[in-house]
Amino acid sequence: MRQLKTLVRIICFMIPVVSISQEEEYIVTKYDDTIYGKVIRGTNYLDTSEVVFKFKNKAGDKIRIDASEIKTIRSIKGVDGDCYITTIYDALFIKKIIDGRIKVYQLVDGAIFYASKDDSEITSTDIGEFFSRKKAHSQVRPMIQDNVELLKEFDTLPGNQKNIFYIINKYNSSVY
């Protein structure tokens, strides 16, 4: 009975800690400033293909997020769900869809994929492109060449998006 009371006390103590430690949305600027607030995804009505992010800070001020000034957006409850969004070429927003030693990003509201290994420069890949499976396979192959067994398996698979993501996830699992 005494152990049960102790367990109940521990759980009661931890409940406020868990609720206090919930994650918040934020942006990280190119100058490494972190600003907490609410991330809002909007539409540019003059160019509906353009993705626009706004940020509502703690004071309630709304500011448009310029891709050239942002390193990372941490979105939790927005249109893009629980994710990290970064920028590329100081103009485009890309969403991280695979995290690990090899990272894969997807253009927000697009079908273009990007990848990087060991936090190298993020480059465009042909993953998911219907007519360029061989090219996608050849672009990803150098990223996994340091794992000989996985490379052999990869070479037996068609270079489609499903197989490439499978191999990248397997690679990331094998190095951590």
**pLDDT, tens digit, 9 for 90 and up, residues 145-160:** 999 999 999 999 887 8
pLDDT of residue 48: 56
Enter the CATH code of domain 23-90.
Answer: 2.30.30
The answer to whether the pTM exceeds 0.85 is no
Burial class (CB in 10 A: 0-12, 13-18, 19+), 153: middle
Q: pLDDT > 70: what percent of the chain?
A: 79
Average per-residue pLDDT for the chain: 81
The torsion region of residue 135 among left (phi > 0), alpha (psi -120 to 50) and beta comes to alpha
Residues facing residue 161 across a β-bridge: none
Question: Do 51 and 64 form a contact (C-beta atoms < 8 A)?
Answer: no
Q: pLDDT > 90: what percent of the chain?
A: 34
Residues facing residue 62 across a β-bridge: 56
**pLDDT, tens digit, 9 for 90 and up, residues 89-111:** 888 889 999 999 999 999 887 78
**What is the token pair recorded at 125?**
């890949």
CA–CA separation, 140 and 164 (whole Å)? 8
62 — pLDDT class (breaks 50, 70, 90): confident
